C-alpha cells in the first residue's frame, strides 16, 4: 500500500498537480497586407498582457503566450463595469501538437480580422527552410536556382520548402503562372541566399498582376539566458 501511495505521488509530480494550468506556446506574428489596418491586440503572457506589434515587413519577436486548445487574442475592454481591463476579441485554432507558431493575420474589406496559425519554429529553422504563402486564387509555380524543379503552390496555400542553394550564393529565381492555357513568367530576378536568415515568400494579387514579397526571417537559437540571433 505504501508503495502504491508513493507511486501516485511521483506520477502527480511528473505530470503537474494543476491540470488546468494554461499551456505556453511560442508565438510570432506577421501581417499580410497593410499593418496600418490592424487594431490594437494583445497576447497574455506569464507577466502581463503584451501588445502585438503588427508588421508586414518582419515577423515579431517570440512571445511566450498562454493558450489552451485555441489561442486567445485580447483587446482592451473599454468598459468601466468590466472586471478585467482586457477581453477576448478573437480565438485562433492551433495546429495539432504545435509548440511554436507563426500567426498570419489580415483585415478583410469588412474590417474583420482573420488569423491563420502555422506550425513553424524559427528556433529549429535553417537558412534553407523557406516558407511560401500563396494568397492568390491562381496556381503559382516558383523556381529557386537554375537547375532545380519549381515549387507549385495551389491557390490560398502554404508550402514549407527546403531549398538546395548554398549559403551566400546568388541564384536566379523565376515565377510562372497559368494564363490563357499556358504558363507565363510574372517574376524573374537574382536573389542572394543569406546564411543568417531564411525567407518567407508571399504571393499576392494586385490588380491583374501577381506581386512577390520576400521577407527576411532572422534565424535565432536559444541560450540558457535567452535568445540570440545567428
Residue 228 lies in a domain: no
Q: Are residues 77 and 135 in the same domain?
A: no
Q: Give the model confidence (pLDDT) of 176-192 as tens digits.
A: 998 777 889 999 999 99
Q: Are residues 142 and 42 in the same domain?
A: no
Residue 66 lies in a domain: yes
Domain extent at residue 153: 129-221
Please report the pLDDT score of residue 180 as a whole number: 77
Please report the pLDDT score of residue 225 as a whole number: 52
Residue 36 lies in a domain: yes
Q: Are residues 167 and 100 in the same domain?
A: no
Q: What whole-number distance in Å separates Cα of residue 141 and Cα of residue 157?
A: 12
Please report the pLDDT score of residue 68 as a whole number: 87
Q: Residue 201: give its domain's CATH number.
A: 2.60.40
Lowest-pLDDT choice from 158-162, 180-184, 191-195, 214-218: 180-184
Q: Give the model confidence (pLDDT) of 23-82 as tens digits.
A: 999 999 999 988 887 999 999 999 999 999 999 999 999 999 999 889 999 999 987 666
| Cell numbers placing 182 | 499556358
Residue 147 lies in a domain: yes
| Cell numbers placing 58 | 518582419
Please report the pLDDT score of residue 8 as a whole number: 36
Average the pLDDT over 113-135 and give the result.
96
pLDDT score of 5 more than 80: no
Number of domains making up the chain: 2
Percent of the chain with pLDDT over 70: 86
Instruction: Give the burial string for 190-212 (b: 16+ CB within 10 Å, else e).
Output: eeebeeebbbbbbbeeeeeebeb
Average the pLDDT over 147-161 and give the result.
95
DSSP SS3 for 8:
helix
Residue 45 lies in a domain: yes
Q: What whole-number distance in Å separates Cα of residue 30 and Cα of residue 215?
A: 10
Amino acid at each position: 500500500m505504501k508503495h502504491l501511495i508513493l507511486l501516485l505521488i511521483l506520477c502527480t509530480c511528473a505530470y503537474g498537480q494543476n491540470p488546468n494550468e494554461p499551456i505556453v506556446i511560442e508565438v510570432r506574428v506577421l501581417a499580410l497586407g497593410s499593418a496600418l489596418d490592424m487594431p490594437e491586440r494583445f497576447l497574455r503572457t506569464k507577466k502581463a498582457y503584451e501588445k502585438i506589434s503588427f508588421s508586414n515587413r518582419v515577423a515579431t519577436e517570440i512571445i511566450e503566450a498562454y493558450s489552451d486548445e485555441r489561442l486567445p487574442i485580447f483587446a482592451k475592454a473599454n468598459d468601466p463595469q468590466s472586471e478585467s481591463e482586457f477581453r477576448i476579441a478573437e480565438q485562433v485554432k492551433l495546429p495539432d501538437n504545435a509548440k511554436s507558431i507563426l500567426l498570419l493575420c489580415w483585415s478583410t474589406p469588412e474590417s474583420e480580422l482573420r488569423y491563420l496559425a502555422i506550425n513553424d519554429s524559427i528556433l529549429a529553422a535553417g537558412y534553407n527552410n523557406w516558407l511560401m504563402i500563396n494568397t492568390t486564387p491562381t496556381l503559382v509555380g516558383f523556381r529557386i536556382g537554375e537547375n532545380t524543379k519549381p515549387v507549385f503552390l495551389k491557390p490560398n496555400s502554404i508550402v514549407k520548402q527546403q531549398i538546395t542553394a548554398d549559403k551566400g550564393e546568388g541564384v536566379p529565381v523565376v515565377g510562372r503562372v497559368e494564363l490563357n492555357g499556358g504558363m507565363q513568367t510574372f517574376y524573374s530576378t537574382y536573389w542572394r541566399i543569406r546564411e543568417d536568415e531564411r525567407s518567407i515568400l508571399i504571393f499576392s494579387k494586385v490588380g491583374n498582376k501577381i506581386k512577390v514579397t520576400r521577407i527576411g526571417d532572422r534565424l535565432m537559437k536559444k541560450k540558457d539566458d535567452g535568445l540570440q540571433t545567428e
